[in-house]
Structure 1
Amino acid sequence: MTSSLASFAFWLTAPVFPHIEIARDAGFTAVVLDIEHGTFNLDDLDRVIPFCRALGIKVYAKVLGPLTEPIQQALDFGADAVIIPHIAGVDHARQVTGAAKYPPLGVRSYAGGRTVMYGPASPTYASDENARVKCWPMIESRESLADVEAIAALPTVDGLFAGPTDLAMAASNERYTFSDADKADIARIAAAAKAAGKPWVMPCWTQPERAFAKAHGVSVTVVGAQFYMVRAAFASLVDGLSAEGLI
C-alpha cells in the first residue's frame, strides 16, 4: 500500500471486482460507490462492500437519494460513510441526515446482521456506530449552498461532499467548467466545513481542481473515475499502435 494515497479515493460506477483489486494493488484505501448513477443493485452491494472492507478499502457509498431506506441499506451492508445527493436547504438536510445516526442523535433503524457480526449488539453499539459511520450530505443544489454553513453545523453531519458539476448546472450553466464562479462555490463549501470543524470531500478530475481543493484544505480527494480510466487506457493503446505505424 502507498500511504501517500490515504487522502484519496477512487470512483466506482459498476461492480467490477478486478478493478477494485487493481486499485488496491495501486495503493488506494478508499472508494466512492456511485450507487446513484451506477449499476449497483442490493445483491451487488451485499458483495462489493464487504469485499472492499476485507481488502482494507473504506467504502463511501453515494446512495440513490435523500431517503431513509437507501441510506440504511448502505450502512447495514457495512459502508463506512454515506454520501447523500439531492439535499435542499437545512431543514431538509436535518430530516434526511438523521437516517444515518441511531437515536437519540438520529432515527436510524436497527437491523442487526453484518454491523454486529451476526450476533448481539454490544452495550455501546449505537454510540460506537454513530461515531464510526460518517454522514456527508452533498452540496450540489443552490438551496444547499445557500444553507451550507447551517448544514455543516448539524450534529448528524460529519462532513460535506462538494458536487460542483450539479452546482454549476443549477446556476443555468450548460456544464461545469471550473470557472471563477465555480471556484467561489467550492471555496464557500470548504469554508463552511472548516468553520464547523469538519472535513470536506470533492471529486477532482483535473490537476487544477486538485490543487485548488488542496489549497482549501480538502480532506479526501476523489480521483480516477472508473469508466474514464478504461476509456483512457483504450485511447492510449490505440495511440501506441498508431505511433508504431500499425494502424
Structure 2
Amino acid sequence: MTENKCLAGKLRAGQTIVSAWASLPSPIFSDLFLRGGYKAITLDLQHGLLTTAEARDSIKEIINGGGHAVARICVDDFKNASWLLDVGAEVIIAPMINSVADAKKLVEFCKYPPLGARSYGAVGATMATGVSMDDYFASADEKTLAIAMIETPEAYDALEDILAVDGLDGIFVGPADLSLTVSGGKRVEPVSDASLAMQKDIAEKTRAAGKIAGIYCVSKGHLQHSKAAGYQFMTFGTDSTLFINAAAEAASSLD
C-alpha cells in the first residue's frame, strides 16, 4: 500500500476522513458500508459484538473492498492490538489511555523496534495487501497508526504529556465517557457547551503537537462541529443504529 493510498498518508496530507462504526458480528456489514460510500470502517471490539475472529474476517472484507480498516480494542488489550495490525488493520484505537505510561504501552505493542516492541510477522496484512513481509515491515510504523482515547479527566489533564510520547500518532475522543467521567458519573452530555469546549481544546492541542485528532460523533450537527473544531478523523454512522432507524421507517409505512 503506497503512502498516498493508506489512511495514515491521507490524514497526514490534511484530508478529513469520516469512518463508519461497526459493532455487529458479521463481515457483511463492512461490505455494506463500503457499498454505501464509506472509505473507512471502525470495528468496535470494546463495546460491539465482534469477536477477534469476526474482526479478522471483517478486516479482510474491508481490504478486499478497497477500504481502510480501523480497530478499537478493549481496555488494556494490547496484545490484540499487535495481532489486529498483523491481520491488516491500519489503525488501532485504544480506550482509557489515561497517562504517559498507558500511551507508551500502546506504542510498545503497535510499533516495531526501536519505537516499540511489536513482533515481526504480519502474515494476514501481507497476504491481504500483496506486499512482501520485508516491504510491509519497512514502512509499517509510518503507515499504521496508534491512537489513544481521551475520555477521563486524568487523560485530559495529562494530554500534552501523552501527545509528547514518541510513536503515538494521535488521539481519539470518546465524548460520552469524557462527559460522564468529568461529571463524576452524574451526566452523559457529549454535546453540552462544556463538553464541546473541552473537545475543541483537545483538538487544538493535538493539532499543535502535529498529531491526528479523532472523535466519535453522535449526530450530524456534532460531526460538523467537530470538523470546525479541527478534527480530521471522525466516526459517524453505527451499523445497528442505522439498521434500526431504517427498519423503523420502513415499518411505519404500514401504519
Q: Please confirm whether the aligned pair reaches a TM-score higher than 0.5, indicating the same fold.
A: yes
Percent identity of equivalent pairs: 27
Q: In 2 relative to 1, CA 199–240 (structure 1 residues): closer, same or farther, beyond 3 Å?
A: same
Distance apart, 1:120 and its partner CA: 6.5
Task: Find the counterpart in structure 2 of residue 240 from structure 1.
Answer: 253
Q: Which consecutive residues of structure 2, in runs of 5 or more, have no partner in the other structure?
A: 1-14
Task: Find the counterpart in structure 1 of residue 8 from structure 2.
Answer: none
Task: Find the counterpart in structure 2 of residue 130 from structure 1.
Answer: 141
Task: Find the counterpart in structure 1 of residue 70 from structure 2.
Answer: 60
Alignment of 1:217-228 (within 5 A): 217-228=230-241
Greater length-normalized contact order (CA 8 Å, ≥ 6 residues apart): 2
Q: Tell me, yes or no, if the aligned pair for 1:199 and 1:219 is still in contact at 8 Å.
A: yes
Q: Secondary structure at the match of 1:82?
A: strand
Q: Secondary structure at the match of 2:221?
A: helix
Distance apart, 1:121 and its partner CA: 3.1
Q: Tell me, yes or no, if the aligned pair for 2:171 and 2:213 is still in contact at 8 Å.
A: yes
CA deviation digits over 1:166-202, x for unaligned, max 9?
1111022331241121112211210121111112111
Equivalent residues, number: 237
Distance in 2, Cα, partners of 1:81 & 1:201: 12
Q: Tell me, yes or no, if the aligned pair for 2:20 and 2:42 is still in contact at 8 Å.
A: yes
Distance apart, 1:29 and its partner CA: 0.6
Q: Tell me, yes or no, if the aligned pair for 1:72 and 1:108 is still in contact at 8 Å.
A: yes
Q: Which consecutive residues of structure 1, in runs of 5 or more, have no partner in the other structure?
A: 243-247
Task: Find the counterpart in structure 2 of residue 35 from structure 1.
Answer: 45
Q: Secondary structure at the match of 1:208?
A: helix
RMSD of aligned alpha carbons: 2.0
Distance in 1, Cα, partners of 2:201 & 2:53: 38
Q: 2:154 aligns with which of 143, 148, 151?
A: 143
Task: Find the counterpart in structure 1 of residue 196 from structure 2.
Answer: 183
Q: Does 1:174 align with 2:187?
A: yes
Q: 2:205 aligns with which of 177, 189, 192?
A: 192
Distance in 2, Cα, partners of 1:211 & 1:94: 32
**Structure having the higher Rg:** 1
Q: In 2 relative to 1, CA 175–106 (structure 1 residues): closer, same or farther, beyond 3 Å?
A: same
Task: Find the counterpart in structure 1 of residue 54 from structure 2.
Answer: 44
TM-score normalized by structure 1? 0.89
TM-score normalized by structure 2? 0.86
Q: Secondary structure at the match of 1:241?
A: coil
Which 4+ stretches in 1 moved above 4 angstroms?
none
Alignment of 1:46-125 (within 5 A): 46-117=56-127, 121-122=133-134, 125=136
| Worse-superposed segment, 37-46 or 132-141 | 37-46
Q: 2:23 aligns with which of 7, 10, 13?
A: 13
Q: Tell me, yes or no, if the aligned pair for 1:113 and 1:119 is still in contact at 8 Å.
A: no
Distance in 1, Cα, partners of 2:208 & 2:95: 22
